[in-house]
Chains A and B, each alone.
Chain A
Amino acid sequence: MQTDLNETIRANPRFQELVKRRARINGALFWISMVIYFSLILTVAFAPDVLRTPLFAGGVVTIGWPIGAVVVIGPWLLTLLYIHFAKADTATIKQIFKESGL
């Protein structure tokens, strides 16, 4: 019974579309975060001088600080984007359940 229902859901094109969409979006968000994060870590490891560049002439603050803040705030903004996309998925899932007689 449970397996039949699962098969019905799996066969639903909406479900297949949902799975692909999620894999695409979540994968993209994950890899973007990793690229942002490891760009900083690798810069610290291989080219620390880049981060010591002053933000503006005569100032003591380096570009490392705003870049670090971006590495925190950027991925957090991506989490908001995730929520945005996930809302549509929740609606799709409801629709799939309805079509499967739930």
Chain B
Amino acid sequence: MTRRSLHSALGALLALAPTPVLAEAIAGGGTKQPINVTAITIFFLFVLATLAITYWAAKRSHSAADFYTAGGGITGFQNGLAVAGDYMSAATLLGITSLVYARGYDGFIYAIAFFMGWPVLLFLMAERLRNLGRFTFADIVSYRLNPTSMRILAAVGGLTVVFFYLIVQMVGAGELIGLLFGLDYNIAVVIVGVLMIVYVAFGGMIATTWVQIIKATLLLAGGTLLGVLAWSRFGFSFEALSKAAVAVHKNGLAIMGPGTLFKDPVSAISFALGATFGLLGLPHILMRFFTVPDAGEARKSAVYAAGFIGYFFLLICILGLGGIAILSTDPAFFVDGKVGGAMIGGANMVALHLAKATGGDLLLGFLSAVAFATILAVVAGLALAGASAISHDLYASLIKKGQASEQDELRVTRIATIVIGIVAIGLGMLFKGQNLAFLVSLAFGIAASSNFPVLLLAMYWKGLTTRGALAGGFTGLALAVALVILSPAVWKTVLGFPQAIFPYDAPALFSMPAAFIIAILVSKMDSSAQAKKEMEAFDDQFVRAQTGLGAAAASKH
């Protein structure tokens, strides 16, 4: 792998989203695949099933609570699957497998970093999210602080993260689907955008949840089958598998230990912090914790999600090593049959080639369909989070000061969904073939440096005032954006300057503590009457956070 494509691969993993690796793969001689009948048939069945669910869900979505949170009637197990589905995108399967294929143990470290947020989410937030929140995470930060300013901050932070994520997903979708299904890029982007609008606008959270559940199940099943088939060739011995991989990999034994993943310790720590705490600021993930009936189910969701994701990431190591051992000596998977050269379809195709090698066209078709379904589900979750921020935080709470009728709010959500869908299609076409790794650093950086600090302090610290939260939140946001722009990924790679001003790609080590410090200092200096009231209101919020007293109950269907 060249330095540049490696850089993109790492970026892709940052979002667990398909990114420029695919773009470069195509530019670098990947060819469009012939139309894959199995893949299209399976995908067609998936779309039919999910549309049927959307129709069913649409008939059950009457209230705002139905729409935003499925009426709070999702069980912990279902939500665990759904939230794992929200998190594991096509690049989790394709990107991390390819990273392990290219770099061995380094890929494993990446997977671990993106797992670690889940236990932390449970220990710090899962139950409090459910007890304090209603529809969006802005509900929590505006609970005792000034609702107008806090909703603006939360909506800006939330929507930025959602849109950066969406662009990356749409571009990845167009490229991946072009590769897998032999479809034109623009057609693929339009299909994804239109299906996303249909799921979310008509079926709301109920449909989105079931799309996630089906997709997560397919992804886990497909990955497991692939892992079993590949590993069985080595008698399910990790040593035998590793030996076979070491024997054919160009780096040999080096792939069994850490390589040159991080340029320096600061990069390592900054990346590790961002990957972990960024999760706790992703609006589409946080929102899923409002769909369960109570704090007990919320904590179960987090445990199930952590279990599924941890399992899947360990499985991916087997896939990556299996890919090395099985694919690297087979000319059938390389451009012009040159073993060790460019992989057919690009570097991200390892998992799919492995499917073909171990399970033939049928498994390849199945896995391709799963990858497409995965993109759709992730995009739907993002669109719902974005539409909720617009309709609930900006329209109903901010513009209408809480006086909007539920019907009006729902109408705005649907319009917002359609607008987000159209904008996403447009951005997907606009950014075709661009190196978007930096957008992913931005999304995680902002989530970890703006949404997360404000949310954590609002939940835990009595002394937080509106002024402190605004100062801290906007500092984190501005600093994360500035540092990413000055980082090698943007300053050098995108803008073409010879030397990056800020030497690290991940901003979290600097921007996250800055947000906390500013929020605390400004809150401490805030002696206004408003600040006093806000601190006093913490005591009641605290009882609710601990016990769920007064939290919205599940509606019965």
- Interface on A for B, CB 8 Å cutoff? 2-3, 5-6, 9-10, 15, 18-19, 22, 26, 29-30, 33-34, 37-38, 40-42, 44-46, 48-49, 51-52, 59-62, 64-65, 68-69, 71-73, 75-76, 78-80, 82-83, 86, 90, 93, 96-97, 102
Contacts and interface: CB of A to CB of B under 8 A. Distances in A.
A48 B548 contact: no
A65 B105 contact: yes
Given A44-B268, A61-B239, A72-B313, 10 more contacts: A9-B543, A33-B116, A62-B256, A64-B256, A65-B242, A68-B109, A75-B119, A76-B306, A78-B123, A83-B299
Contact of B105 (A46, A51, A79, A80): A51
Given A33-B119, A46-B265, A83 B303 contact: yes
B120 A30 contact: yes
A64 B313 contact: no
B310 interface: yes
Given A6-B543, A60-B242, A68-B112, A83 B300 contact: yes
A2 B105 contact: no
B108 interface: yes
Interface string B283-315: 000000000000110011011001100100110
A99 to B, nearest CB: 12
Contacts of B313: 72
Given A61-B238, A64-B256, A71 B112 contact: yes
A59 B256 CA distance: 11
30 contacts: A6-B540, A6-B549, A9-B549, A10-B542, A15-B543, A15-B546, A15-B547, A29-B123, A33-B116, A33-B120, A33-B123, A34-B120, A37-B112, A37-B272, A38-B272, A41-B109, A45-B262, A51-B105, A52-B257, A59-B239, A60-B239, A61-B256, A65-B238, A68-B105, A68-B112, A76-B119, A76-B307, A78-B119, A93-B547, A97-B549
A9 B261 CA distance: 51
Nearest to A94: B547
A97 B238 contact: no
B115 interface: yes
Nearest to A92: B547
Nearest to B313: A72
A88 to B, nearest CB: 12
Contacts of A46: 265
A19 B547 CA distance: 10
A51 B123 CA distance: 28
Mostly helix, strand, loop or mixed at chain B's interface? Answer: helix
A41 B506 CA distance: 15
Contacts of B300: 83
Contacts of A42: 265, 268-269
Contact of B546 (A19, A34, A72, A73): A19
A5 B123 CA distance: 27
Contacts of B543: 6, 9-10, 15
Contacts of A102: 549
Contacts of A65: 105, 108, 238, 242, 256, 317
A61 B258 contact: no
Contacts of A52: 256-258
A49 to B, nearest CB: 8
B441 to A, nearest CB: 18
A30 to B, nearest CB: 4
**What are the nearest 5 A-B pairs in CB distance?**
A52-B257, A45-B268, A45-B265, A75-B119, A48-B258
B257 A62 contact: yes
B276 interface: yes
Given A2-B540, A26-B124, A60-B239, A72 B265 contact: no
Contacts of A33: 116, 119-120, 123
A44 B546 CA distance: 38
B34 interface: no
A82 B122 contact: yes
A89 to B, nearest CB: 9
Contact of A10 (B238, B253, B272, B539): B539
A86 B547 CA distance: 12
Nearest to B541: A6
A15 B539 CA distance: 13
B427 interface: no
B239 A44 contact: no
B96 interface: no
B540 A37 contact: no
B354 to A, nearest CB: 19
Contact of B122 (A59, A61, A68, A79): A79
Given A6-B539, A45-B265, A48-B258, A82 B299 contact: yes
Interface string B94-125: 00000000000100110011011011101110
A26 B127 CA distance: 11
Given A52-B256, A62-B105, A64-B105, A41 B272 contact: yes
Contacts of A83: 299-300, 303
- Of A37, A51, A60, A96, the most chain B CB neighbours within 10 A belong to A60
A71 B299 CA distance: 21
A44 B258 contact: yes
B303 A80 contact: yes
Interface in B237-277: 238-239, 242-243, 246, 253, 256-258, 261-262, 264-265, 268-269, 272, 276
B123 A37 contact: no
Given A45-B269, A75-B116, A90-B296, A30 B124 contact: yes
B314 A69 contact: yes
Contacts of A73: 310
B29 interface: no
